[in-house]
């Protein structure tokens, strides 16, 4: 196994470690947000809930796009 294969595996391990840690942190925060649904403790309306979840969905979509789509940011040349 060459040096690049070892580096690739280390990058893969680092990705898995960080992705799992960050995903679990996000899931925990979403569950905490769900605690705000308790009507006996909080007052909110449907418009506020829609605004919250629209923002979350927009950010998830943007993050997913960064994994899915290749960005073409090359300089223009004739």
Tell me if 52 sits within 8 A of 33, measured CB to CB: yes
Residue 20 token pair: 């799992």
- Mean pLDDT across 29-38: 98
Cβ neighbours for 33, distance < 8 A, ≥ 6 positions apart: 52
Q: Give dist(CA 59, CA 33) in Å, integer.
A: 16
Residue 42 lies in a domain: yes
Quick one: pLDDT at residue 63? 94
Residue 19 lies in a domain: yes
* 74 or 38, greater pLDDT: 38
In the chain, how long is the greatest CA-to-CA distance?
65
Domain count, the chain: 1
Whether this prediction's pTM lies above 0.85 is answered by no
Domain range spanning residue 19?
Answer: 3-68
């Amino acid at each position: 196994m060459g040096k690049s294969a070892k580096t690739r595996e280390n990058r893969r391990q680092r990705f898995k470690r960080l992705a799992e840690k960050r995903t679990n942190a996000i899931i925990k925060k979403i569950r905490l947000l769900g605690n705000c649904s308790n009507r006996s403790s909080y007052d909110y309306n449907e418009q506020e809930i829609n605004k919250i979840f629209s923002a979350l969905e927009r950010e998830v979509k943007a993050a997913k796009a960064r994994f899915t789509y290749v960005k073409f940011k090359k300089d223009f040349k004739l």
